[in-house]
Structure 1
Amino acid sequence: MKHAETVTFGGSGLDRFAHLRGDAQGLSKAKQSAGTTAILLWRGKPLVHAEDRGTLVRLPMDHVVLKEAISEPIYLGREDSGDCFAYDISNWTPDALDSDALDSFLDRSEQHHPLLDAGQVFCELRGIMPELSARDAELAATAKAVFGWHRSHRFCALCGEQSVMAMAGWQRDCPSCGGHHFPRTDPVVIMLITRGNNVLMGRSPGWPEGMYSLLAGFVEPGETLEAAVRREVVEEANIKVGDVEYVASQPWAFPSSLMFGCRGEALSEEITVDPAELEDAMWVSREEMMQAFTGQHPVLKPARKGAIAHFLLRNWLADRID
């Protein structure tokens, strides 16, 4: 699809400069270079400008707040202006922290660290993703995903001993058995299933009222993308699917997925929802989806901007799925 990489987190052409990851001397030199900057995360939330939440804050490498990092930084790559690292200060606890807001479906709370400028705040990535530039989106998603992997993979899967960060954050090594472990990405299919003028939409339990999206599910071992699409749609809605085509992909750091956007033609219409998978599913016409996109549908909320479901639906409405 000619518009494939315009999806949020779709890639900005960042030179990840991977050969530098294992070069201790080169990394040390990069950290001291005048053009090198750092982005900062707290519990997966990137630091942005309060008045322009679509722009990541880039800090100088000698900023005092970086001393609060819980680990060595992750090397993200080289921009035109210089190298870029990511730091995590998740051990910091803000005053009057609202735990309920952090645990909500969409965390709209903002946190300000006292060592940072007043106009610099931590924001939930899902809330600001439509506003980010392609470059800032790629940097933020990469840092969030890799830091998340380190938090959930602290112990060696081979012997159970605690492993250590290596290769500028892109590897964990076990000092006990010598095992090497690498960041994982879980493949997920998300599918635009159509029949005539209608598209299949579903909602999971606990979603906000009126929120529906395209059906999605994890790809199983030994399974193709096409087979995963057909299996998931049958399992969730008992709809059989014929031809399936890949459309576009989206890195989804919530926590560590790669979303494979596909389209498929339904061979049946009658929906039978599996309550263990979905709360509801329904066919939605193009006209109704247009109403939803403009916020005028009586039931459906607008598709969430930045998510690949929004991208697929928008291009379907514009007849640009090719």
Structure 2
Amino acid sequence: MASIKATAPRPALTGHGMDRDDHTRADEERLAQMLARSDARLMALDGLLPVLQGDGLTFTPLNGGEAHGELVYMGLKDETPIFAPVPGEGDTRQAFEQRANRAIVMQLQARDLAIYAGARSLVDWHARHRYCANCGKPTVIAKGGWQRNCVKSDGGCGAPHFPRTDPVAIMLVEHDGDVLLGRGSNWPERSYSALAGFVEPGESIEEGAAREVLEEAGVELCDVSYVASQPWPFPSQLMIGCHGYATGREITLDKTELEDARWFTRAEVAEALQSDPEQGAFRAPPREAIAHTLLKWWLEQGA
């Protein structure tokens, strides 16, 4: 089998370049100082959607943080404290509006897109975790927005809760120089992408990748290696890009997971990535998706 280089292009939604300033989160005095700074800025959000200023995010003066409700301290952007507002109850645009979100979000400049990705995941988590999963009592924001605590004074159990990230293995499966891609039943016509699925409790990334490929396409996977990762804030996944080799080419499709899966040549992938979406052997994943990054990386391995 051919050797695989470890490096890959940087996927979209990465490269925020911020100082997360973790030490300030747990220090109430330092956090108050950040809130009070004259240069502190608030990321403008309409529910979970960014308010755009051209192709960038909009940041407004924080003015001490009063009247903004719950705020998440995102850290320092070029030495400037940045906060993001948690939507009020009934004001969120949840993950099921993913397509509408993406159409607006992907207009952002690369760095702003990465900053927004983190903010969206956090404020969405806060909006959906106002009550304790352990006892059902109200929770309050803590550690600058990187934690919520159940309120003991309100009869709660006092349990701490932390933002979650759900790991998803997304796999480029190779056999004799071809790559296996699949399509979901509700996807646009001719759209194909890398197979993907959530890593389940009690399994490694490699095991999760192999299990998903076997379940969805009936193809056994071996020699799984990591390529690159991408945060995906709809609502809060970590896409873990992998490459592996199939032990055979026969496909046994799970119709509950995929409408179709097939093998594509390097020439077909190159044409799909470079051509008009309506041309070529298939419609390639959009540029913001890590599947697009993985396919470009895969082509470079054979260059």
Same fold? TM cut 0.5: yes
Separation (CA, whole Å) in 1 of partners of 2:99 and 2:157:
41
> Which of 214, 227, 235 is equivalent to 2:194?
214
Corresponding residue for residue 300 of structure 2: 318
Letter in 1 for 2:109: L
The alpha-carbon deviation at position 89 of structure 1 amounts to 4.7
Does the alignment pair 1:80 with 2:88? no
Separation (CA, whole Å) in 1 of partners of 2:97 and 2:76:
35
Separation (CA, whole Å) in 2 of partners of 1:130 and 1:240:
39
Corresponding residue for residue 163 of structure 1: 139
* Alpha-carbon contact 1:45-1:125 (below 8 Å) kept: no
> Which of 221, 224, 246 is equivalent to 2:226?
246
**CA displacement, residues 174-210 of structure 1 (integer Å, 9 cap, x when unaligned):** 1111100000111110001111221111111211222
Unaligned runs of 5+ in 2: 1-5
> Which of 145, 158, 177 is equivalent to 2:157?
177
RMSD: 2.5
Aligned pairs for 1:49-198 (under 5 A) are 49=53, 52-53=54-55, 55-62=56-63, 67=67, 69=68, 71-89=69-87, 106-107=99-100, 124-125=101-102, 127-129=104-106, 131-134=108-111, 136-175=112-151, 176-198=156-178
Separation (CA, whole Å) in 2 of partners of 1:189 and 1:106:
21
Separation (CA, whole Å) in 1 of partners of 2:233 and 2:243:
22
Does the alignment pair 1:204 with 2:208? no
Separation (CA, whole Å) in 1 of partners of 2:86 and 2:163:
17
The alpha-carbon deviation at position 27 of structure 1 amounts to 2.0
The alpha-carbon deviation at position 104 of structure 1 amounts to 6.4
Separation (CA, whole Å) in 2 of partners of 1:160 and 1:236:
37
Corresponding residue for residue 27 of structure 1: 31
3-state SS of paired residue (2:63): coil
* Alpha-carbon contact 1:37-1:59 (below 8 Å) kept: yes
Letter in 2 for 1:153: H
Separation (CA, whole Å) in 1 of partners of 2:125 and 2:297:
32
Corresponding residue for residue 268 of structure 1: 248
* Alpha-carbon contact 1:205-1:278 (below 8 Å) kept: yes
Corresponding residue for residue 8 of structure 1: 12
3-state SS of paired residue (2:173): strand
Aligned pairs for 1:27-46 (under 5 A) are 27-46=31-50
Corresponding residue for residue 111 of structure 1: none
Corresponding residue for residue 212 of structure 2: 232
Shift in CA distance, 104/22, structure 1 to aligned 2, threshold 3 Å: closer
Corresponding residue for residue 52 of structure 2: 48
Letter in 2 for 1:62: N
The alpha-carbon deviation at position 163 of structure 1 amounts to 1.4
Q: Give % identity.
A: 39
Q: Comparing 24-33 with 198-207, which one deviates more in the overlay? A: 24-33
The alpha-carbon deviation at position 286 of structure 1 amounts to 1.1
Letter in 2 for 1:156: C
Corresponding residue for residue 3 of structure 2: none
Does the alignment pair 1:223 with 2:203? yes
* Alpha-carbon contact 1:192-1:199 (below 8 Å) kept: yes
* Alpha-carbon contact 2:50-2:105 (below 8 Å) kept: no
Does the alignment pair 1:297 with 2:295? no
* Alpha-carbon contact 2:206-2:225 (below 8 Å) kept: yes
Letter in 1 for 2:99: L
* Alpha-carbon contact 1:130-1:305 (below 8 Å) kept: no
The alpha-carbon deviation at position 129 of structure 1 amounts to 3.2
Separation (CA, whole Å) in 2 of partners of 1:320 and 1:133:
28
Separation (CA, whole Å) in 2 of partners of 1:89 and 1:171:
16
**CA displacement, residues 50-98 of structure 1 (integer Å, 9 cap, x when unaligned):** xx32x1111111399x84x4x31100001224111112456698xxxxx
The alpha-carbon deviation at position 127 of structure 1 amounts to 4.5
Q: Calculate the TM-score normalised by the size of structure 2.
A: 0.87
3-state SS of paired residue (2:115): helix
Q: Calculate the TM-score normalised by the size of structure 1.
A: 0.82
Unaligned runs of 5+ in 1: 94-98, 108-123
Shift in CA distance, 126/189, structure 1 to aligned 2, threshold 3 Å: farther
Shift in CA distance, 320/24, structure 1 to aligned 2, threshold 3 Å: farther
Letter in 2 for 1:2: T
Separation (CA, whole Å) in 1 of partners of 2:170 and 2:76:
32
Separation (CA, whole Å) in 2 of partners of 1:105 and 1:145:
13
